[in-house]
Chain A
Amino acid sequence: MKPARERVAGSVANFVDERVGAARYLKKSLNKVFPDHWSFMLGEIALYSFIILLLSGTFLTFWFVPSQEELIYNGSYVPLKGIKMSAAYASTLDISFDVRGGMLMRQVHHWAALLFLAAMVAHMMRVFFTGAFRKPRELNWVLGVALITLGIVEGFLGYSLPDDLLSGTGIRIAEAILQAIPVVGTYAAFFAFGGAFPGLVFIPRIYTVHVLLIPGIILALITVHLMLVWYQKHTQYPGPGRTEKNVVGYPLMPVYMAKAGGFFFIVFGVTAFLGAVASINPIWVFGPYTPTQISAGSQPDWYMGWLDGLVRMSPPLETYFFNRTISWNILIPGLIVPGIMFTGLALWPFIEAWATGDKREHHLLDRPRNAPTRTAVGVMALTFTIVALINGGNDIIATHFSLTINQIMWATRISIFVLPPLAYVITKRICLALQRADRDLVLHGRETGRLVMLPHGEFVEIHEELSPQEAFTRTSHEQLAPIPVAAIDANGVRPKGVLKDRIRARISKGILQEQIAKPTAKEKLELGDGHH
């Protein structure tokens, strides 16, 4: 007779399987293989912080009052007693000071939001620099770009809800961006705000968008994102035994389940720790929003900072014609540049496939050095964003480092044009140098620092040969040749579309020509055992 425990489990399993046929599916799924690498956890952190956001956010909605109706505060935070404020701001104070665990949950929610965005950006950098976005995963990359974009909007709307002085100022800026859109801007702003700024409806409206619309879309996109990861199987880093045709790792049950499930609790625990000890967004310090007040050192959250930095460094450019105004000083940094950046980001897999002519499936990741142009473009874009982010904090930097805002502003205005191309060149050189170092290591082994005197008096350093595994990892990548230029045939007839082909051949040459030839088996054999 089986123990009772097993009998109960057996009958439950039987009930489920007879209705949905779960055994057939689960048998296969529980043995699904997941490659293991620390960088694959970045996306997990993003997923887990989203779940934490859903949980802590739901808690906050039980007390938050999404209304701009004015009232006189009479809660337990003494410095603001008797002050006129919106119900939204007052209820946020109540959550912070009169609901047990409310402050903790507010801070957990805010930290999780910062972590959500940071993890998504780090995850995207991992995917970009290792070429994980290549066919067949381009669609998942596009979904990822959509998720980051939605995440930024969601975060901005979230920290705008308390209706404090700092966030109200952020909303004012968002309204100005809307208003600056040519032709329809004023209408868009009046529809969004139910009239002139600030009106009485934007808090309830962004509340619905923040707690229902965007999280719903994010949840749906994450589901598709993960289903694609599951269906297409995870990529893996190159190494011995790993090929384009296989996937090496641990089975879902039990190792991966325990690790991933455990990691969720670790992320939640760390977020709760931050919420416990690190104050974030202390809205009671800022005071309620009113359009005539402001505090020095107004700063958005970090993921908005680079946009704010771009707006700050923009030249004072407006054009006027036929009694109409176009505010380039708002449109360029607020809409055009970010629009170009996010579009470029979303299209990158297709641009790269077109430029290299590589239309095959890839499941083995690139080491960033082996794709120098892509790595350089990535670092260039990051440099651009970081320079903008620095200018977004120019007032804080000015007071901390005894600089003037004008110095920082001019430094970043120049740097934003100079540093990204410089970063591109330097990164590409570093990548090629690393390729050279790989070649050297494979052919000549590792320098041991042990010197030996030969019988005739010559000193040589002993080189230790790499293990076959290490040598393979450093040489298993492919080196593509540039696309050949279509030749003009004997009769002097240009093939159709020749200009487009030429441009493309030119670009592919720029990307692929500069490679350090990787060592071949023959070269290695000729060099022998590394004593030379």
Chain B
Amino acid sequence: MSNTELEPLKDPGLPAHAHRKADHDEAAAKRAERQVAILFLLSALGTVLFIYSYIWIAEDIYVFIPIVGTTNAHQLFLGLGLASSLFFIGAGAVHWAKTLMPDEEVTAQRHEMRSSDEDRANLIASVKENAGAAGLGRRSLIKRTLGLSLGLVGLSPLLLLRDLGPLPGDSLTKTTWAEGVHLVTDPGNRRLRPEDLEVGAVAHVLPEIEHPEHRSLNDIAKDALLLIRIRPEEFRLDAERLSWTYEGIIAFSKICSHMGCAVALYEQQTKHLLCPCHQSTFDVPTGAKVIFGPAARPLPQLAIKVDEQGYLVAAAPFNEAVGPSFWERSK
């Protein structure tokens, strides 16, 4: 095919301008002017409503609005006042622009972003000349030491960030749990006996400490336990894990082994624990093995026993870190 055969359709140019009614009809223009004025007046009314609501509508009045439901009248009318005072300014301005301001499209020319070759050459020459005058090319000692100091200067602010926090140490692997620490209810801080839990029941538990009113969130975030009682014969655990239970009562860390949310949903029928964050599902009779979802490890199990007075206590600390994984965590 020759070039003429590939020629595209001709550009017919900008379409002829279609005039609006208000451009030639004075009555239509007047009408548009009134419409714009009404919109601006509505905005003013909105401000009046806002002021009225702020001062005179009591804050404890509730009204029923279809779709929205029962809502606070003070805040509703305050908002509606603000909304209309703003919206109608905009509506007025846009209506004004569309009906009365000139609507002839205009054309401007573009220019290539690239500078002309001459400008480029001039720039390079002048940069070279100025750099040469400063001796950047010749004085290599200055260049190198400047490079060194610029390279090092960034270290100071970086080092300043060091005291943002302590080093992890063993704080991710240690909890309050130790042999003989009593299990207490959360909330309530009451010691628990095995008979407090019926088969099928679940209890939220924390370690007993001297001043429970000063219990820190950091400790809670590691210590929280779920205590679940099922029939002892339903366990499918190895001998060691079974010895960590007491008459069908088993204790798991409540902090998800995936990303640390509270695994707080227990399905009594299926004996599954579910984490509401990412739906990891743990099977209680098999020692909280992951049967669904993104968690890769079972919830850590705490060994429990009963002390001389018949209260539930920890038989040993956790034998692994609770909560989400981290680099230094050993399997």
Contacts and interface: CB of A to CB of B under 8 A. Distances in A.
A521 B7 contact: yes
A198 B326 contact: no
B315 interface: no
Interface in B29-79: 54, 59, 65, 68, 71-72, 74-76, 78-79
Contacts of B277: 169, 173, 294, 298
Contacts of B206: 292
A416 interface: no
A89 to B, nearest CB: 12
B244 to A, nearest CB: 21
A297 B279 CA distance: 10
Interface size class for chain A? 35 or more
A162 to B, nearest CB: 16
Contacts of B293: 312, 316, 409
B221 A250 contact: no
Interface string A300-325: 00000000100111111110100111
Contacts of B105: 36, 248-250
A336 interface: no
Interface stretch (A100-108, A348-356, A444-452): A100-108
Interface residues of B, number: 99
B325 A327 contact: yes
A196 B221 CA distance: 9
B135 interface: no
B196 interface: no
Contacts of A240: 11-15
B90 A262 contact: yes
Given A198-B217, A522-B7, A187 B167 contact: yes
A270 B164 contact: no
B21 interface: no
Given A232-B113, A292-B262, A327-B296, A185 B221 contact: no
Contacts of A267: 90
B295 A329 contact: yes
A277 B68 contact: yes
Contacts of A243: 11
B260 A185 contact: no
B186 interface: yes
A47 B27 CA distance: 38
Given A195-B171, A475-B8, A272 B324 contact: no
Given A192-B164, A265-B90, A269-B88, A197 B260 contact: yes
A510 interface: no
Interface in B92-108: 92-94, 96-98, 101-103, 105-108
Given A180-B325, A240-B15, A264-B90, A315 B294 contact: yes
Contacts of A258: 93-94, 96-97, 101
A292 to B, nearest CB: 4
Given A32-B108, A259-B97, A265-B87, A290 B217 contact: yes
B172 interface: yes
B11 A246 contact: no
B296 A329 contact: yes
A298 B276 contact: yes
Given A33-B107, A176-B324, A247-B108, A291 B262 contact: yes
Nearest to B59: A100
Contacts of B92: 262
Nearest to A240: B12
Contacts of B164: 191-192, 194
A265 B93 contact: yes
A284 interface: no
B22 interface: no
A520 B7 contact: yes
Interface string A39-77: 000000000000000000000000000000000000000
A101 B167 contact: no
Nearest to B329: A325
A263 B76 contact: no
A497 B218 CA distance: 59
B112 A361 contact: yes
A468 B113 CA distance: 32
B256 to A, nearest CB: 9
A521 B221 CA distance: 74
Interface string A134-175: 001000000000000000000000000000000001001101
B121 interface: no
B142 interface: no
A255 B98 CA distance: 8
A418 B196 CA distance: 52
B229 interface: no
Given A262-B92, A406-B292, 19 more contacts: A31-B108, A190-B168, A191-B161, A196-B218, A196-B222, A251-B106, A255-B101, A258-B97, A259-B97, A262-B94, A262-B97, A266-B87, A292-B186, A292-B221, A292-B254, A292-B264, A324-B329, A363-B110, A521-B7
Interface of B: 4-15, 54, 59, 65, 68, 71-72, 74-76, 78-80, 82-94, 96-98, 101-103, 105-110, 112-113, 161-162, 164-168, 171-172, 186, 204, 206, 217-218, 220-222, 224, 254-255, 258-262, 264-265, 276-280, 290, 292-297, 323-331
